[in-house]
Amino acid sequence: MLKDILRLLVALSLLAPVSSFGRQSAPQASDDAATAELIGRAAARTREYTARFKDLTAEETQRVEEFGDKGLKRRREVVSDLIIYESQQDGSTIEYRNVRLVDGKEVAGRDRRVEQLFGRLAKADSRKKELERIRKESWRYDLNYRVHNLTILQGLPLDEKARPSFRFTVNGGGRIDGHDVIEVRYEQVSPIPEQKVELSLPAKLKGAELLYRGRLWLDRETARLRREEREWVLKHASFAAPLTYMKFEFSYADSRFDILTPTRIIFSTYDRGRDLPGGGAELLLGGRAVFEYGRFSRFNVDAPDPRLDEPGKR
């Protein structure tokens, strides 16, 4: 039976930067020169995003819902100051959440906790210790579904080293927030180096592949990513179509930092399974987290106290 026994153990960490993928000798995924040129431009824009999306902060509202056989089981709303923290060890970035409200109730003593956390970070002698301390503090009020660094990891299929593992197809155009965009579909066609995924699956799904597919909406003028829909799907020879296991939806908008910054991210996981008549199966929605962001500002972590830049400064 699929029900209650479908589990995914993902060794690919959402905490790792996009640039962590290794090299492989596979050819460029798209044979079309114009498409390849567009994807190359978009990849350059995501590198700019990674370089500039540091020491920023914004109000984040996270709404999490968990579902069972009888529908919604529980929900939680968490309002935080999201801070893109740059490691003092190696310059890598991680999301830190200074939680202010949980289901409308103010979190007591949070200013003191911030002071204590940054004191511990200043004393950390390794990146691992930095990350552990930030994760522990950021996840205090999370439910069962924990996702991290989704604001940092932009455009996974556009990464230079991962890109050969994908096929890209231009699928038309449109408009988003008054900007002309080009829609590009992508699908994974070969393994991504250094991505290690272990699946613990029922017999019916043994041998299934876990692959990415999705769509990019690129600004027609700048090739910057304005929207992305990314799915992790289970592909199995016994099923007519892949089964969606996870889905990510990213929306970006103009900012004063010469990049597009996140406005909304949705993470959905379909980790509840059931058998269908005739030997089929389907995966059902188990949890969903919606993250919404206010205007980003620059955040300084200079000793002794972290602080925000004055309005208008970078």
| DSSP code string of 132-199 | HHHHHHHTTT--S-----TTT---GGGSTTTGGGEEEEEEEEEEETTEEEEEEEEEE-SPPTT--EEE
Q: Compare 5 and 32 and report the one with higher pLDDT.
A: 32
The model's confidence at residue 56, banded by pLDDT at 50, 70 and 90, is very high
pLDDT-derived band at 301 (thresholds 50, 70, 90) equals low
Task: Give the percent of the chain with pLDDT over 90.
Answer: 49
Say what the pTM is. Answer: 0.82
Residue 76 has pLDDT above 90, yes or no: yes
27 found inside a domain: yes
**In a domain? residue 290:** yes
Here the contacts of 105-113 (C-beta below 8 Å, separation 24 or greater) are 113/137
Give the structural domain span for 15.
7-296
- 310 versus 277: the higher-pLDDT residue is 277
Query: Which of 243, 145, 165 is CA-nearest to residue 201?
Result: 243
**C-alpha pair distances (Å), 85 with each of 22, 181, 217, 306:** 25, 31, 28, 11
Residue 307 has pLDDT above 60, yes or no: no
Confidence check: pLDDT of 122 > 50: yes
Cβ partners under 8 Å of residue 185, min gap 6: 168, 169, 171, 213, 214, 215
Write the DSSP symbol of residue 239. Answer: S
The Cα 54–Cα 314 span in angstroms is 11
Per-residue pLDDT for 286 more than 50? yes
Lowest mean pLDDT among 20-34, 68-82, 151-165: 20-34
Rounded to whole angstroms, how far apart are CA atoms 86 and 282? 41
In the predicted structure, residue 1 carries a pLDDT above the cut 90: no
Residue 58 has pLDDT above 70, yes or no: yes
The percentage of residues in the chain with a pLDDT greater than 70, rounded to a whole number, is 84
**Is residue 184 a contact partner of residue 174, using CB atoms and an 8 Å limit?**
no
Q: Report yes or no: 126 and 89 within 8 Å, Cβ to Cβ.
A: yes
Rounded to 5°, angle at Cα 255 from 173 and 220: 20
Question: For 178-195, what is the mean pLDDT?
Answer: 93
Tally of structural domains, the chain: 1
Q: Does residue 201 register a pLDDT over 80?
A: no
CA gap 99, 108 in Å, rounded:
10
Pick 281 or 251 by higher pLDDT. Answer: 251
How far from chain centre, in Å, is Cα 3?
A: 27
The answer to which of 91-100, 216-225, 275-284 has the lowest mean pLDDT is: 275-284
Higher pLDDT among residues 75 and 200, named by residue: 75
**What is the C-alpha to C-alpha distance for residues 53 and 298, in angstroms, rounded to an integer?**
10
Copy the structure tokens of residue 118: 């940054």
> Is residue 311 in some structural domain?
no
Considering the domain boundaries, does residue 306 fall inside one?
no
Check whether 16 has a pLDDT greater than 80. no
Mean pLDDT of 251-272: 95
Query: Is the per-residue pLDDT at 248 higher than 70?
Result: yes
Average pLDDT over residues 48-77: 94
What pLDDT does residue 8 have?
Answer: 35
Specify if 310 maps to a domain: no
Q: How far is CA 246 from CA 99, 231, 240, in A?
A: 26, 6, 19
**Measured between alpha carbons, how far is 296 from 80 in angstroms, rounded to an integer?**
13
Question: Chain-wide mean pLDDT for the chain?
Answer: 81
Q: What is the pLDDT of residue 308?
A: 47
Q: Write down the pLDDT at residue 199.
A: 67
